[in-house]
């Protein structure tokens, strides 16, 4: 006869450790009562006094608890890269306080030929460095528009379009570090883990934030970054070292990385089995996994902005796509009845975004602005985003109300 309590406890431990998959969403809450007896309550972690360390002035950010969304009006006139002081913050718990002198990265697992390897920050700095412009974007960016624009109920942080930012990241290729650690030929998956406090939901301690990727991706273009826009990583953005995974959803770019597991077997965590999967009527019951981001556009203004009627003004914005550089952007100032091609501002760097502008002379009254982008592979923003219950990957054209007075 099976001891159901012991069985549930074992499943919970395996899942939190990334050794199991296939939980239905209801299991997360059904097992909550087991968490206390299983010894999976949060372990002590050194964290800052507040979830986010840097100042969050209301003219720059909209704050959602442990998260802070960049206001698009704060990016107007700021150049290609988002300044650190206005780069969005996505924390599952809170920003940890880490002493760089005590930090080291452990690389271990069955996918290595030998024992675990430990790498210090000085070790990383002695390796060949690279700098790349990369977009980091939360998978839930634009989530609020499922409700406000499509009338659909979703769960999660009600982001507008400001959970995205482009920075110039400097560091060492993950492939360099993994190969020096000694990879087995049959290595399959790589899973970075963060040093932030454990994430607890429904009374269940899910452990540190972590998410696996195939070895092929890890050896392709992934960076272990220690600088952001020419400065050491700030605490809120991963100090002293974070993972940067171009083209993929932000959860893959683990902050405050402290451990990387390399395995000869598939790896799983709550962040690829329970969260960051597509659930809903069009998807399998166990959800559909996804990794890549989608295409989006945003005006450098806040919804409800006011313009002087009858005067020429310049509308500015940015568009980006995980599938490649932006080919062109069209803008409508009359709610989508007519469209004009926007003027490109500077180049579109692959893996980042394209800036654009359009002159407009509004008449007095209410207006609705729309922008839609097409990338070099012919992907154009749709009118309606594909619904999923967790509100991921919103890519539809966003309707922005403004007034001329």
Q: Which residues contact 101 (CB under 8 A, 6 or more apart)?
A: none
Q: What is the pLDDT of residue 347?
A: 82
Of 305, 335, 327, 313, nearest in space to 71 by CA: 305
Q: Assess whether pLDDT exceeds 50 at residue 8.
A: no
Q: Assess whether pLDDT exceeds 90 at residue 5.
A: no
Higher pLDDT, 15 or 43: 15
Q: Tell me the β-bridge partners of 316.
A: 357
Report how far residue 189's alpha carbon sits from residue 262's, in angstroms, rounded to the nearest whole number: 6
Q: What is the pLDDT of residues 30-59, one digit of tens each?
A: 333 333 323 333 333 365 678 999 999 999
Report how far residue 13's alpha carbon sits from residue 254's, in angstroms, rounded to the nearest whole number: 22
Report how far residue 269's alpha carbon sits from residue 376's, in angstroms, rounded to the nearest whole number: 34
Q: What is the pLDDT of residues 375-389, one digit of tens each?
A: 999 999 999 999 999
Confidence of residue 165 (pLDDT cuts 50, 70, 90): very high
Rg (CA), the chain: 22
User: Judging by beta carbons within 10 Å of its beta carbon (0-12, 13-18, 19+), is residue 3 exposed, middle or buried?
Assistant: exposed
Confidence of residue 349 (pLDDT cuts 50, 70, 90): confident
Percent of the residues in the chain that have a pLDDT greater than 90, as a whole number: 86
Q: Which helix (H) or strand (E) holds 193?
A: strand 189-194
Q: What is the pLDDT of residue 38?
A: 32
Of 283, 279, 28, nearest in space to 153 by CA: 279
Q: What is the pLDDT of residue 153?
A: 97
Q: What is the pLDDT of residue 46?
A: 60
Q: Assess whether pLDDT exceeds 70 at residue 87.
A: yes
Q: What is the pLDDT of residues 294-343, one digit of tens each?
A: 999 999 999 999 999 999 999 999 999 999 899 999 999 999 999 999 99
End-to-end, the C-alpha distance of the chain in Å comes to 75
Report how far residue 28's alpha carbon sits from residue 298's, in angstroms, rounded to the nearest whole number: 35
Indicate the length of the chain as a whole number.
Answer: 405
* Cis peptide bond upstream of 240, omega within 30: yes
Dihedral pair phi/psi, residue 169, rounded to 5°: -100, 135
Q: What is the pLDDT of residues 224-279, one digit of tens each?
A: 999 999 999 999 999 999 999 999 999 999 999 999 999 999 999 999 999 999 99
Report how far residue 306's alpha carbon sits from residue 369's, in angstroms, rounded to the nearest whole number: 12
Question: Cβ of 113: how many Cβ atoms within 10 Å?
Answer: 10
| 164 close to 136: Cβ distance less than 8 angstroms | yes
Of 133, 153, 123, nearest in space to 223 by CA: 133
Q: What is the pLDDT of residue 48?
A: 60
Higher pLDDT, 349 or 396: 396
Q: Assess whether pLDDT exceeds 90 at residue 27.
A: no
Higher pLDDT, 18 or 274: 274
Of 122, 111, 163, 114, nearest in space to 142 by CA: 163
| 56 close to 145: Cβ distance less than 8 angstroms | no
Percent of the residues in the chain that have a pLDDT greater than 70, as a whole number: 88
Q: Assess whether pLDDT exceeds 70 at residue 393.
A: yes
Dihedral pair phi/psi, residue 247, rounded to 5°: 75, -15
């Amino acid at each position: 006869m099976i001891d159901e309590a012991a069985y549930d406890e074992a499943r919970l431990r395996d899942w939190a450790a990334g050794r199991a998959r296939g939980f239905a969403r209801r299991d997360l809450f059904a097992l909550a009562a087991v968490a206390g007896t299983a010894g999976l309550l949060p372990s002590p972690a050194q964290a800052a006094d507040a979830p986010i360390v840097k100042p969050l002035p209301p003219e720059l950010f909209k704050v959602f608890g442990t998260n802070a969304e960049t206001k698009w009006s704060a990016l107007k006139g700021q150049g290609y890269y988002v300044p650190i002081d206005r780069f969005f913050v996505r924390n599952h718990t809170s920003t940890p306080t880490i002493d760089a002198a005590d930090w080291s990265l452990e690389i271990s697992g069955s996918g290595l030929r030998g024992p675990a390897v430990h790498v210090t920050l000085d070790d990383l700095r002695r390796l060949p460095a690279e700098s790349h412009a990369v977009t980091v974007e939360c998978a839930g960016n634009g989530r609020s528009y499922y409700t406000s624009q499509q009338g659909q109920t979703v769960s999660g942080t009600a982001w507008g379009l400001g959970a995205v930012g482009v920075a110039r990241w400097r560091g060492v290729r993950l492939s360099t570090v993994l190969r020096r650690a000694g990879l087995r030929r049959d290595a399959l998956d790589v899973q970075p883990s963060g040093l932030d406090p454990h994430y607890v939901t429904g009374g269940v301690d899910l452990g540190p934030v972590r998410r696996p990727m195939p070895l092929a991706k890890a050896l392709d273009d992934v960076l272990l970054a220690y600088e952001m826009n020419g400065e050491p990583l700030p605490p809120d953005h991963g100090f002293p070292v974070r993972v940067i995974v171009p083209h993929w959803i932000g959860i893959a770019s683990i902050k405050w990385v402290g451990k990387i597991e390399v395995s000869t077997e598939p790896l799983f965590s709550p962040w690829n089995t329970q969260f960051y999967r597509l659930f809903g009527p069009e998807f399998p019951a166990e959800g559909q996994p996804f990794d890549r981001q989608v295409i989006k556009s945003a005006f450098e203004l806040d919804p409800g902005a006011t313009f002087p009627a009858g005067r020429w003004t310049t509308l500015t914005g940015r568009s980006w796509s995980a599938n490649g550089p932006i080919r062109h952007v069209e803008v409508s100032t009359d709610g989508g009845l007519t469209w004009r091609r926007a003027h490109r501002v500077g180049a579109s760097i692959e893996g980042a975004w394209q800036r654009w502008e359009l002159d407009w002379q509004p008449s007095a009254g209410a207006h609705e602005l729309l922008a839609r982008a097409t990338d070099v592979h012919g992907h154009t923003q749709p009118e309606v985003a594909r619904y999923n219950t967790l509100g991921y990957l919103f890519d539809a054209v966003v309707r922005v109300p403004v007034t001329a007075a």
